[in-house]
Amino acid sequence: MVVICGPAGVGKGSIVSGMLNQRSDFVLSVSATTREPREAETDGVQYYFVSDEQFDRMIEDKQMLEWAWVFGLNRYGTPKKAVDKLQSEGKTVILEIDLDGARQIRETAPDVVQIFIAPPSFEQLESRLRGRGTETDAQLEARLNTAKDELQAQDEFDEVFINDELEKTTQEVLDYILRRKEENERSTGNRKTTN
């Protein structure tokens, strides 16, 4: 299991997509969320869109590896059952989650590889977020404030990558994950090669 964390707009999704295109044994964990679907999002593909009541039940039944309020607006979480199933199939499961979720995962799954994606500068991050045009001014301000906190926490992670050039950063992250996976398999005696 690999956690990919970093501020909104840093390019986490693009990096993850690039790795998934290269590796058939890598799969992105689909999170559950209480937010409304955006245009072109499909339930069960980008997210599992659930009601507040459903989300509450999943927490109570300990069906979440982690969950968090994001920007104080909606809740997101990683359903445990789906991750367990993918791991049992030999997949490397990637969780693209926020800082609170990454901290929870450290408690529930201490062997997880934790990666932080940082922007070249805060100014570039702000420019990327404004350029997306997907948030209101209030949402943008919330994301920028959250980004400041996230950037201060990057030392908590196993490795930090600065996304200054997407293809290069994607390859660096992929190489790091494969190196960690190989070390783990060597230490447990489960040598597997899958492309």
What average pLDDT is seen over the chain?
90
CA 105, chain centre distance (Å): 11
pLDDT attached to residue 167: 96
15 phi/psi in degrees, rounded to 5:
-65, -45
Q: For residue 192, is pLDDT > 70?
A: no
DSSP 72: T
Q: Residue 150 and residue 5: Cα distance in Å, rounded?
A: 9
Structural domain boundaries in the chain: 2-188
Single-letter amino acid, residue 41? E
Supply 81's token pair. 């059952």
Sign of the torsion angle spanned by Cα atoms 33, 176, 148, 12 = negative
pLDDT attached to residue 193: 47
Q: Residue 33 and residue 147: Cα distance in Å, rounded?
A: 20
pLDDT attached to residue 53: 96
Contact predicate 1/101, CB 8 Å = no
pLDDT-derived band at 190 (thresholds 50, 70, 90) equals: low
Nearest to 8 by CA among 101, 125, 173: 125
Q: List, for residues 148-173, the tens digit of each pLDDT value.
A: 999 999 999 999 999 999 999 999 99
Q: Which residue has the higher pLDDT, 72 or 146?
A: 146
Nearest to 77 by CA among 105, 116, 117: 105
Q: Residue 102 and residue 95: Cα distance in Å, rounded?
A: 9
pLDDT attached to residue 194: 47
Looking at domain 2-188, its CATH superfamily turns out to be P-loop containing nucleotide triphosphate hydrolases (3.40.50.300)
